[in-house]
Amino acid sequence: MSKDLLEKGAILQRDQETYAIAPHIPGGIVSAQQLRKIADVAEKYNAATLKVTSSQRVAIVGLKEEDLDNAWEELGIKPGAAIGLCVRSIKICPGTTFCKRGQQDAVGLGLKLDELYHGMPLPSKFKMAVSGCANSCSEPAIKDIGVMGTPKGYTVMVGGNAAIKPRLADVIADELTEDEVLKLVDKIISFCKTNGSKHRLGRAIDEMGIDSFKKEIGL
Contacts of 151 by beta carbon, 8 Å cutoff, 6+ apart:
103
What's residue 2's pLDDT? Answer: 74
Q: Tens-digit pLDDT profile for the chain (219 aa)?
A: 579 998 899 999 999 999 999 999 999 999 999 999 999 999 999 999 999 999 999 999 999 999 999 999 999 999 998 888 999 999 999 999 999 999 999 999 999 999 999 999 999 999 999 999 999 999 999 999 999 999 999 999 999 999 889 999 999 999 999 999 999 999 999 999 998 788 999 999 999 999 999 999 999
What is the number of residues in the chain? 219
What's residue 197's pLDDT? Answer: 83
DSSP 151-187: TTEEEEEE--B-SSS-BPPEEEEEEE-HHHHHHHHHH
Q: Report the candidate in 178, 161, 32 with the shortest Cα–Cα distance to residue 107.
A: 178
What's residue 1's pLDDT? Answer: 54
What's residue 69's pLDDT? Answer: 96
pTM of model > 0.85: yes
Return d(Cα 176, Cα 173) in angstroms, integer.
Answer: 7
What's residue 122's pLDDT? Answer: 95
